[in-house]
Chain A
Amino acid sequence: MATRSISSRIGAVLAAPVIWLARLLNLPLKWWQGMTGTGGMAAFFLAPNMAIFGIFVLLPLVINFAYSMTSGQALFLSDRSYVGGEQYARLMDCGNYLDPTTCREDLFWIALRNTALFVVVQVSMMTVVAMITALILNREIRGRGFWRAVFFFPVLLSPVVVGLIWRWILQREGLLNFILYNVGLEPHVWLTDRFYSFVATVGVSVWAHMGFYTLILLAGLQAIPRDLYEAAEMDGTRAGRVFWRITLPLLMPNLLVVIVLALIRAVQIFDEAYVLTGGGPGTSTLYLTQYIYEVGFASLLRNPGLAAAASIIMGLILVVLTLIQLGLGRRNEKAGERK
């Protein structure tokens, strides 16, 4: 009892200035309400959020287009020289689009190719792994909450922590090589190999985020009416058939959400991969966001205009993916109505 009263007293002391401030605010706000009515109050409530939103989200979004049409190293738009579509032309200047080495901005095309490959492999792996895990967690198993927590755990870890954990495991004298050595397999220097470092970025990002998608799929599985399965069982339907004919069709909306969300996030891959491999060895794990970051900020010959142009191309890719999601969602709704 004593500790409880102390903690509540601490809480009261901490809350006191806040409550006092809120009371103090009441007077001028009452006056404002009297002057402008509830419409003015709506404006008052919206103002702080929309001001921050306008300055730090909308404004950058708009001037990004202007930025992408200027050149030079100057920071402020007014000091930059207008070059029209030159930055885009520079990005698109390619002898052969399938061969990045023939492009003027070869790194952009390498990053684009790596990202595309990453998206395809990571999203398919993610979907399959999350699907299997969700199906298993939906079974009648003991301690389901615990098992769900097991698979969800890495989702909250910071990408830097995830990157460092795996860099430590994949290093030459790391845990993975130790395990391989013990079972008699050949150890590798994983992160200095072009192929394995790519696989590592894929695997690590699946490891870090699969719990999130598993949860979405699990929520969908639990919403499927039980009597459908009971009916199937009474008819003696095989498990595989039940999955293809009942589970998968009814899970489709959640599955689409998972695929599209995973796609949108995979296109933006940066933090874990950057900490894990730094984009290397060479350019084998250089992804689009890292390209934008390095061209815009990190390299000696930084070119904000070019980075802005590249980010707009990436934005367009994301818009297309979002529109696909909206389209699929609507088709689903219609399909639902027809039933």
Chain B
Amino acid sequence: MSRVAEFLTRRRGGSGWDWTDIFTWVWLIAGIFVMFGPAVWLVLSSFKTPAALAEFPPTVLPMATEQVMVEGYDNPLELYSVSMPDGSEQVLAQVRRVGTIAQMVDPDAPDEIVKVNIAERTPQRRVAFATENYVVPLEQNDFLLYLRNSVFVTVMATIITLLTNSMAAFALSKYRFRGRDGVMLLIVATLMVPLSVILVPLYSVVNAVGLFDSLWGVILPTVATPTGVFLLRQYMLTIPDELLDAARMDHASEWQIYWRIILPLAAPALAVLAIFSIVWRWNDFLWPLVVLSRKELYTLQVGLNTYAGELNVQWHYILAMTVVTMIPVVLVFVFLQRYITAGIAGSGLK
């Protein structure tokens, strides 16, 4: 502990503590609780049984009442520790409860029924993870379908985004042609056109080209990202033209130059765009909500929202599925956080 304290209190320059240091650490420690706490609480809650979720005050860890099979009873019975009239503590299984009286049996001597006031008994509880919250929706509900749809949309949209954006960026950075600046200006200008402004006409366009209620209707409108073209173009501008000229001397075709030279050299920028595209497409909500009407086509986000909007909200399943929805993004965060933060700090894209 003293080493931890020493680590926390160590300061550069060796001068004493002033209020800014205290404020810094209060802010940082509070930050951990406020930023991580809700997600941790979600994960812990997702392992609780419906009964445990309805409890107030809630327990931190998922707990369940211990159960035991008793001879002569078909269903497992819940175990309670009971304070007996003689002052001793005894572990009994509850058969049924009538009003304030519980009928209990000793698991070792199941013939004799003991009547106990419910105030005299406390449930025997231990930490138990209700994994059925995860297993049941993945087996029965449409959840696996939603998961598949989301993966399909994310993978396809990202591949097409990388391909079309890099081709356009190549043309805009390495060729001189009339109207190039015009095209670039058009792309940059639409950086500020959000989906919500063109929602209604986009819906009719997607209908007119026959993509309504299909996953391609979700994918195609999102792939021509101005951000992606802009990011890749800025990166490709730094690739020296001499490389391209040398390749042309060796009779490389323009396609080969794009494919064999530009793409490998732009790999860092492509990686950043790929990460962002995966996160964007995985998280998309409003557009899939508008364009998908058949339930079996829903993406995870739309499906989750539908479950949560039902009259009888089944929180135990919803919490578990929220955790599943979070997993890919958390993986991206853990492994690729450095690239993302560098990308944001460098270009202000999100």
Interface residues of A (CB under 8 A from B): 22, 25-26, 29-30, 33, 38-39, 41-43, 45-46, 48-50, 52-53, 55-61, 63-64, 67, 75-77, 132-133, 136, 139-142, 147-161, 164-169, 173, 175, 177-178, 181-182, 207, 211-212, 215-216, 218-219, 239, 257, 261, 264, 268, 270-271, 274-275, 278, 288-289, 292-293, 296-297, 304, 307-308, 311-312, 314-315, 318-319, 322
Q: Tell me if A216 and B345 are in contact (CB < 8 A).
A: yes
User: What would be 5 A-B contacts, judged by CB atoms less than 8 Å apart?
Assistant: A164-B42, A166-B38, A207-B35, A264-B192, A293-B199
Interface secondary structure of A, over-half rule: helix
B95 touches A (CB below 8 Å): no
Query: Cβ of B304 and Cβ of A160 under 8 Å apart?
Result: yes
Report the Cα distance A157→B289, complex, angstroms: 18
| Bound form: Cα–Cα A160–B306 in Å | 11
Asked whether B31 is an interface residue with its Cβ less than 8 Å from the other chain, the reply is: yes
From B31, B177, B256, B346, give the contact of A151 (CB < 8 A): B31
A133 CA to B330 CA in the complex, in Å? 22
Residues of chain A within 8 A (CB-CB) of B209 are 55
B301 within 8 A of A: yes
Beta-carbon contact of A61 and B332 below 8 Å: no
Is there contact, CB below 8 Å, between A175 and B41? yes
Contacts of A25 in B (CB 8 A): 255
Determine, out of B64-72, B117-125, B166-174, the stretch whose residues face the partner at the interface. Answer: B166-174
Give the contact stretch, choosing among B105-113, B128-136, B278-286: B278-286
B259–A152 touching, CB < 8 Å: no
Question: Shortest beta-carbon distance, A193 to chain B, in Å?
Answer: 18
| A314-B196 contact in complex given A42-B177, A216-B345, C-beta closer than 8 Å | yes
B196-A292 in contact (CB<8A): yes
Inter-chain contact B197/A318, CB cutoff 8 Å: yes
Q: Is the CB of B337 within 8 A of A159?
A: no
**B336 CB to nearest chain A CB (Å):** 10
CB of A281, distance to nearest CB on chain B (Å): 15
Q: Which residues of chain B come closer than 8 Å to A63, judged between CB atoms?
A: 201, 204-205
Provided the pairs A75-B207, A156-B332 are in contact, do residues A52 and B224 lie with their beta carbons within 8 angstroms? yes
Name the one of A76, A132, A212, A264 contacting B207, with C-beta atoms under 8 angstroms. A76
Q: Are A148 and B326 in contact (CB under 8 A)?
A: no
Chain B's nearest CB lies how many Å from the CB of A209?
A: 9
CB <8 Å contact, B31 and A133: yes
With a CB–CB cut-off of 8 A, which chain A residues contact B332? 156
Q: How far is the CA of A48 from the CA of B205 in the complex (A)?
A: 17
| Known contacts A45-B171, A161-B322, A164-B322, A296 near B203 by CB under 8 Å | yes
Which residue of B183, B192, B282 is within 8 Å of A318 (Cβ)? B192
Residue of A with least CB distance to B58: A178
Residue among B198, B282, B350 facing the most chain A CB atoms (10 A cut-off): B198
Instruction: Give the docked Cα–Cα distance between A142 and B201 (Å).
Output: 52
Instruction: Select the stretch in B49-57, B79-87, B96-104, B137-145 that faces chain A.
Output: B49-57
Q: Is the CB of A61 within 8 A of B200?
A: no
A56 in contact with B56 (CB, 8 Å):
no
Report how far A173 CA is from B82 CA in the complex, Å: 28
Cβ-closest chain B residue relative to A57: B190
In the complex, A221 Cα to B286 Cα: how many Å? Answer: 35
Bound-state CA distance A46–B168 (Å) is: 4
Known A-B contacts: A49-B167, A165-B41. Give 6 more (CB < 8 A).
Answer: A29-B255, A45-B175, A60-B201, A63-B201, A76-B208, A257-B348
- Main SS of chain B's interface residues? helix
For residue B45, which residues in chain A have a CB less than 8 angstroms away from its CB? 168
Asked if B315 lies at the interface with its beta carbon under 8 angstroms from chain A, I say: yes
Closest to B202 in A: A60
Q: Which residues of B contact A49 (CB under 8 A)?
A: 164-165, 167-168, 224, 229
Residue B340 at the chain A interface, CB threshold 8 Å: yes
A48 to B35, CA, bound (A): 41
- Check A150 against B32 for contact (C-beta < 8 Å): yes
From B35, B54, B254, B340, A29 is in contact (CB under 8 Å) with B254
A22 to chain B, nearest CB (A): 5
Q: Is the CB of B194 within 8 A of A318?
A: yes
Chain B residues within an 8 Å CB radius of A141: 24, 28
Of the listed residues A45, A150, A319, the one surrounded by the most CB atoms of chain B closer than 10 A to its CB is: A45
Query: What residues of B have a CB within 8 angstroms of the CB of A164 in the complex?
Result: 42, 304, 308, 318-319, 322
CA distance A318 to B69 in the complex (A): 66
| Interface flags, B241-279, vs A, CB<8A=1, else 0 | 000000000000111101100000000000000000001
Closest chain-A Cβ to B293's Cβ sits at a distance in Å of 10
B42 touches A61 (CB 8 A): no
Interface mask (B308-350 → A, CB under 8 Å = 1, otherwise 0): 1100000100110010011001101100010011001110101
Q: Indicate if B12 sits at the interface (CB-CB under 8 A).
A: yes
Provide the residues of chain A in CB contact with B256, threshold 8 Å. 26
Instruction: Tell whether, in the assembled complex, residue A160 and residue B305 are in contact, meaning their CB atoms are under 8 Å apart.
Output: yes
B166 vs chain A, min Cβ distance (A): 9
Chain A residues whose C-beta falls within 8 Å of the C-beta of B322 in the assembled complex: 161, 164-165
- Interchain CB contact under 8 A, B304 and A173: no
Whether B341 pairs with A178 at a CB distance below 8 angstroms is no
Q: Evaluate whether A39 and B283 lie within 8 angstroms (CB atoms) in the complex, with A25-B255, A49-B229, A60-B205 already known.
A: no
Most B CB within 10 A of own CB, among A46, A152, A153, A166: A46
Tell whether, in the assembled complex, residue B207 and residue A153 are in contact, meaning their CB atoms are under 8 Å apart.
no
A29 touching B326, Cβ below 8 Å = no
A158 B168 Cβ-Cβ under 8 A? no
B12 touches A140 (CB 8 A): yes
Interface centre among A142, A215, A274 (most CB of B within 10 A): A215
Task: For B12, list chain A residues within 8 Å (CB).
Answer: 140
Q: How far is the CA of A227 from the CA of B8 in the complex (A)?
A: 27
A132 CA to B193 CA, complexed, in Å: 31
Cα of A173 to Cα of B193 in the assembled complex, Å: 41
Given known contacts A49-B164, A173-B55, A292-B200, is B333 in contact with A156 (CB within 8 Å)?
yes
Given A33-B253, A132-B27, A158-B301, are A52 and B223 neighbors across the interface (CB < 8 Å)? yes
Name which residue of chain A comes closest to B211, CB basis: A56
